[in-house]
Amino acid sequence: MKKIIVICLLILSLTSISFGEIDIGTEIGSVLETDIKAYIDDQQIPSMNIDGYTAIVVEDLRYYGFDVVWHPDTRSLDISRNTSKAVDPLPVSDLDVVIGREIAKVLHTDIKTYFHNSELRSFNIDGKTAVLINDLSQLGFVHWDEEKRVISLAPYEREWVDTKDSDFSFVIKGQDAIVLNIDKKNNDFYFNEVLVGFQDVQAMLSLEKIAAALDYKLVDDRYTRGAYGFELNEVDQSVNHYYDGLLVETSKLNFDMITKETIYISDGDLAEIFGLYKTWDPESERIILNDHNEIIEDHGNLHISGRNVSIKVLTDYWVGYNYEIRNTSHDLYGGGSSLTDSNQSSYAYITSGSLLAGKNDVEVTIKAGHRILMHKVYKDLLPDYTTHILENEKNISAFSYIRLDSPDKGYYDLDENNFTLKGEIFNSKGDIEISISKQNDLDFEEVSRQTLTVIEGDFNDQISFGGTGLYKVVAKGIVKGIHENYSTDLFEFYIRLK
């Protein structure tokens, strides 16, 4: 969601500090307000001044014709020009600026920022990454107007390579897979001729040895590889799963771990913990554990349509991942995914959740088994009712169908208090009930119910509203089911009365 951001001045005291001696997260400067303005190709962008140089937030470039991709495995950001991407500049407020007022801290970061493989200086500001505009001179001509106190970047006119996957929220790419062939001899299991487990009710494998084979490191009872980590709780046979040091979820083992000289866990539970694809050869009794060894790219795209929030994911692996969207502000859960496109080398999925009126905090988690590939928090998201999608024709049950002439879209701006509903419905029982709700500070509150008369499947009547504001219109009807008739939502749209 776009936020109004004040123009800032950032002053750093770096002269006596060597970055190599500083811990990540150490405060190294302060953000102060200033009146300096910055522009990207004639569009103003929120700015700040770092040690005498004007800087911008890297992620903001996504609204100015650039792709910015986050690589959590290498903790790096890639900037690239995308000439086909729509420019949608962020609002900038110049009001109430008190020059010299401290509004934030600058933290030392290990995140690297690149443009076409060239590293740029970068700084951590409230969890965002800032870069100096002067360092973006590879992208275009940088001009400073001292009289107007304006700095601008005019991107060069050249044939940039557009980012093919720029519409996707995340892109999952497999690297060289790690395959563990675990052979059974008598009642024991071996990997590369090394004893790694034994047969119990399930195949029990050494957590320590499997983790080492998959290049996980053990630090303070927590196994980690990249941003993902996990630790066991022997008391309640559970596993805590972390992403970038943050506890994201806790899962239960299907079979109790067994502790001898080391910890042994069932092959099925290990596959879930490490996010492995497990197969078994019944003739040789060989267990095959396949680690796709994915990397994930964060393209920064979140899609909001009406009260629906969704992510689009592109992957080159046919085995499904787990996609979760949780609205933590209202305890709403969205999960699962639908395949939207595929070919022999890539698969596109979409996963959706819900937003309510007002601000919403949303968590997105992508997992292979229980292994967390990405966990990201979006703050203060608002529904966008202007983009609500209305299906004008659809099946509403196995035997019922509706077609709409009016409304023909999901959102209207109106000056009049009346609106015509027209269309036809097949295999319904009785009239259509219309619920009209008006938006308040928290959500929508029903203000009236009206009836839409259906004659031989056709309806053509007006509904009325009670004054200015945003209204949600929901139509309900009784339709024919396989065993019995039932009530269901027929369509929903929004009207703002001026």
| pLDDT at residue 18, as a whole number | 43
- Cα torsion angle, 144, 148, 150, 156, sign: negative
Whether 129 and 276 map to the same domain: the answer is: no
- pLDDT-based confidence at 30, cuts 50/70/90? confident
Whether 391 and 355 map to the same domain: the answer is: no
CB atoms within 10 A of CB 103: 15
| pLDDT at residue 6, as a whole number | 38
Q: Indicate left, alpha or beta for 172 from its phi (over 0: left) and psi (-120 to 50: alpha).
A: beta
Residue 221 pLDDT > 70, yes or no? yes
Mean per-residue pLDDT, 337-349: 70
The answer to whether the CB of 390 falls within 8 A of the CB of 434 is no
Whether 292 and 423 map to the same domain: the answer is: no
Mean per-residue pLDDT, 362-370: 95
Q: Which helix (H) or strand (E) holds 270?
A: helix 267-274
Measured between alpha carbons, how far is 386 from 79 in angstroms, rounded to an integer? 30
- Cα torsion angle, 129, 131, 136, 142, sign: positive
| pLDDT at residue 166, as a whole number | 62
* DSSP codes joined into one string, 285-310: TEEEEEE--EEEEE----EEEBTEEE
Residue 194 pLDDT > 70, yes or no? yes
Mean per-residue pLDDT, 267-293: 89
Whether 308 and 396 map to the same domain: the answer is: no
**Long-range contacts formed by 244-252: CB under 8 A, 24+ apart:** 244/72, 244/375, 246/375, 248/365, 248/372, 248/375, 249/365, 249/370, 249/372, 251/370
Residue 159 pLDDT > 60, yes or no? no
More confident of the two residues 148 and 95: 148
More confident of the two residues 318 and 128: 128
Round the average pLDDT of the chain to a whole number and report it: 85
C-alpha separations of 373 from 90, 323, 368 in Å: 30, 10, 7
Q: Which helix (H) or strand (E) holds 446?
A: strand 444-452
Pairing between β-strand 8-12 and β-strand 27-33 as defined by DSSP bridges: antiparallel
Whether 148 and 29 map to the same domain: the answer is: yes
Whether 314 and 445 map to the same domain: the answer is: no
> Cβ contacts of residue 56 below 8 Å, gap of 6+?
38, 40, 45, 46, 47, 48, 130, 131, 133
Measured between alpha carbons, how far is 303 from 288 in angstroms, rounded to an integer? 38
Q: Give the domain extent around 458.
A: 386-497
Measured between alpha carbons, how far is 121 from 113 in angstroms, rounded to an integer? 7
- pLDDT-based confidence at 21, cuts 50/70/90? low
Measured between alpha carbons, how far is 35 from 177 in angstroms, rounded to an integer? 52
Residue 35 pLDDT > 90, yes or no? no
Which of 131, 163, 195 is the last residue before a domain boundary?
Answer: 163
CATH code, domain with 486? 2.60.40.10
Amino acid in position 264? Y
Residue 20 pLDDT > 70, yes or no? no
Of 80, 55, 73, 74, nearest in space to 299 by CA: 80
CA 339: distance to chain centroid?
A: 17
Which of 383, 402, 426 is the last residue before a domain boundary?
Answer: 383
Of 337, 346, 388, nearest in space to 364 by CA: 337
Where do we find the tokens 């097949």? 426
pTM above the 0.85 mark? no
Whether 123 and 209 map to the same domain: the answer is: no
Structure tokens at 87: 């420019």
Whether 265 and 306 map to the same domain: the answer is: yes
The answer to whether the CB of 33 falls within 8 A of the CB of 7 is yes
- Total tally of structural domains belonging to the chain: 3
Which of 359, 383, 407 is the last residue before a domain boundary?
Answer: 383
Residue 2 pLDDT > 80, yes or no? no
Q: Which of 86-100, 264-278, 386-400, 431-445 has the highest mean pLDDT?
A: 264-278
Measured between alpha carbons, how far is 487 from 481 in angstroms, rounded to an integer? 10
> Cβ contacts of residue 158 below 8 Å, gap of 6+?
none
Whether 295 and 368 map to the same domain: the answer is: yes
The answer to whether the CB of 101 falls within 8 A of the CB of 31 is no
Tens of pLDDT, residues 441-464: 778 899 999 999 999 999 999 999
C-alpha separations of 315 from 89, 296, 321, 327 in Å: 30, 9, 9, 24
Instruction: Check whether the bond before 407 is cis (ω within 30° of 0).
Output: yes
The answer to whether the CB of 387 falls within 8 A of the CB of 470 is no
C-alpha separations of 380 from 130, 303, 354 in Å: 21, 14, 13
What backbone phi and psi angles, to 5 degrees, belong to 481? -105, 180
Whether 362 and 398 map to the same domain: the answer is: no
Residue 341 pLDDT > 70, yes or no? no
- pLDDT-based confidence at 388, cuts 50/70/90? very high
Whether 199 and 302 map to the same domain: the answer is: yes
DSSP alpha helix (H) spans, 275-419: none
Whether 441 and 369 map to the same domain: the answer is: no
- pLDDT-based confidence at 165, cuts 50/70/90? low
